[in-house]
């Protein structure tokens, strides 16, 4: 569980990111989950955009994906949401969270 201070820090980092994962009308597929797993290992912070053809609620989907992938929900704005998970490999860790 991340603190509000850590969440605020992650929001500031996510502000400048472009979405790296797009969810279309097919919804959440295995390929999308794999792409998010790769994103967590390389960047730790993944920004997702839900396309217009998908009817899913961004906050519900974000919380569901976070639970499936053992990640932390950072924020949802409009049709975009951001998730964070620390890289398992210590060499790939790039984000140092404030205490």
Share of the chain above pLDDT 90, in %: 74
Angstrom distance (rounded) from CA 63 to CA 74: 10
Q: Distance between CA atoms of 87 and 45, rounded to whole angstroms?
A: 10
- Per DSSP, helices labelled H in the chain are 4-15, 30-42, 58-69
Instruction: Flag whether pLDDT at 71 surpasses 80.
Output: yes
Q: What is the pLDDT of residue 99?
A: 84
* Mean per-residue pLDDT of the chain: 92
Q: What is the CATH number of domain 4-89?
A: 3.30.110.60
What's residue 94's pLDDT?
A: 86
Under a CB-based contact definition with an 8 Å cutoff, are residues 63 and 77 in contact?
A: no
- pTM of the model as a whole: 0.92
In the chain, what are the domain boundaries?
A: 4-89
Per the model's pLDDT, the better-predicted residue between 92 and 93 turns out to be: 93
């Amino acid at each position: 569980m991340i603190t509000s201070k850590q969440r605020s820090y992650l929001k500031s980092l996510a502000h400048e990111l472009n979405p790296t994962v797009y969810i279309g009308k097919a919804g959440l597929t295995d390929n999308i989950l794999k792409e998010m797993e790769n994103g967590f290992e390389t960047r730790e912070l993944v920004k997702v955009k839900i396309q217009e053809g998908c009817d899913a609620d961004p906050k519900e989907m974000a919380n569901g994906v976070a639970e499936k992938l053992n990640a932390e929900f950072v924020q949802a704005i409009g049709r975009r949401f951001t998730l964070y998970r620390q890289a398992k490999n210590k060499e790939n860790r790039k984000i140092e969270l404030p205490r």
